[in-house]
Amino acid sequence: NAGVTQTPKFQVLKTGQSMTLQCAQDMNHEYMSWYRQDPGMGLRLIHYSVGAGITDQGEVPNGYNVSRSTTEDFPLRLLSAAPSQTSVYFCASSYRPVHTQYFGPGTRLTVL
Amino acid sequence: GENVEQHPSTLSVQEGDSAVIKCTYSDSASNYFPWYKQELGKRPQLIIDIRSNVGEKKDQRIAVTLNKTAKHFSLHITETQPEDSAVYFCAASIGNAGGTSYGKLTFGQGTILTVHP
């Protein structure tokens, strides 16, 4: 049981490049979400999903896309990277939306 | 949308003392309030949570209290130890399915707790 996994752990992009952050969980959790963590600002919700085929926007969705074609996977796509997207990104999952959220190890992204 | 304010931003205590972190929230519909601990370079991990039908919950040295009327909740750590040093986050969520904000977890800005030996 690997829990929540994220790849890559580190990534450096140039402004304008696109990429996909991968997130997977093997706990058969319905709920998955993406957060970004910036110094002094806590964790801010980007997008979330309450089940396969269902996604919704969080607090800071601009510049990011998500899809949920399977229960296990919830990739986050950066369409055209900007320096303001430099951050640590965490994926999380839970059995139901208001149950314990289990976080992945995070992806540290730098946009130059 | 929901807004969660957390205080203090930093807290320094001596080993054995108690530590209290306070949070306020804005949306009266919120009914689920978890607390997460994040050690340096690690992922956040749930340490305790409380639902709105409960006023207080304890787990060994950790307790959380909730005042729904005042819309605030607090984390209490007793007999602090150096390994309690970390960043603590409170959060609030609406747990009733069917609403547009169902499942959205809003975090506070975090409190850096340092426990000095």
State percent of chain A over pLDDT 70: 100
Mean pLDDT for A54-71 is 95
CA B72 to chain centre: 10
Contact B44 A103 (CB under 8 A): yes
Q: What percent of chain B has pLDDT over 90?
A: 79
Alpha-carbon Rg for chain B, nearest whole angstrom, is: 14
Q: Output the average pLDDT for chain A.
A: 94
Cis peptide before A105 (omega within 30 of 0): no
Please indicate whether residue A70 or residue B95 has the higher confidence score (pLDDT).
A70
- For residue B37, pLDDT over 90 is answered with yes
**Chain A contact set for B102 (CB, 8 A):** 50, 97
Would an 8 Å CB–CB cutoff place B7 in contact with chain A?
A: no
Which residues of chain B neighbour A43 with C-beta distances below 8 Å? 44, 89, 91, 107
Task: Assess whether the previous peptide bond of A39 is cis (omega < 30° from 0).
Answer: no
Nearest by Cα to A23 from A92, A80, A81, A79? A92
Q: What is the pLDDT, as a whole number, of residue B97?
A: 58
**How close, in Å, is residue A105 to chain B by CA atoms?**
5
Which residue of chain A comes nearest to B6, CA vs CA?
A42
Q: Do B104 and A98 touch (CB under 8 A)?
A: no
Chain A residues inside the 8 Å CB shell of B108: 42
